Amino acid sequence: MRASPLRPTIEVFFKEGIKSDNIEKRLDILSASVRTMLVTFKKDRSLQERKKSSRPATVNTRRTRGTIKRKISCNYGISINKIAMDLNISRGSVQTIVKRHFYLKSYKLCQRQFFSAQSKASRLEKSKKLLADLQVRRVSDVIWISVKVFTIAPFSNHQK
């Protein structure tokens, strides 16, 4: 966040003894901003901008975030690795930007059975026949079987 250009003016007004509510009316700024600056002035005896204690952002900039957002909006199926390679930055930085700034979650697309128009029509036909059979008979006459094949060493999905 950039420093307010009104800091020196607020400091002069405060040294002259003008109250915070009069300062905010004269400068037409929020009272919370004036009070925060005055608390800082009372503590440090100056409103000069202090050196930031954290490491400056070099990759997570507005420009980089905009580029990543454009890439995602153009192609929702693009991978984080692909974006990182295109921008020549780390995968972790891209993942942090996607999660914290765009509130998106990445996921792996899973392959599943493809239903063609023919298979959909055949399933619809079979289900209509099953319903017709159930209307002729009583449901209690039908034997329902649930068969599940259990394996001793099932495969585990590590991509959850």
Tell me if 127 is assigned to some domain. no
Domain count for the chain, please give it: 2
The model's pLDDT over 76-134, given as tens digits with 9 standing for 90+, comes to: 888 899 999 999 999 999 999 999 999 998 777 677 777 789 988 998 999 898 888 77
Cα–Cα distance, 12 to 27 (Å, whole number): 13
- Which positions ≥6 away from 64 have C-beta within 8 Å? 87, 89, 97
Residue 11 DSSP code: H
The model's pLDDT over 8-37, given as tens digits with 9 standing for 90+, comes to: 788 788 788 888 888 888 888 888 888 888
Tell me if 114 is assigned to some domain. no
Tell me if 119 is assigned to some domain. no
Cα–Cα distance, 160 to 144 (Å, whole number): 33
**What is the extent of the structural domain holding 74?**
62-100
pTM above 0.85, yes or no: no
Tell me if 128 is assigned to some domain. no
Tokens of 58: 């070099």
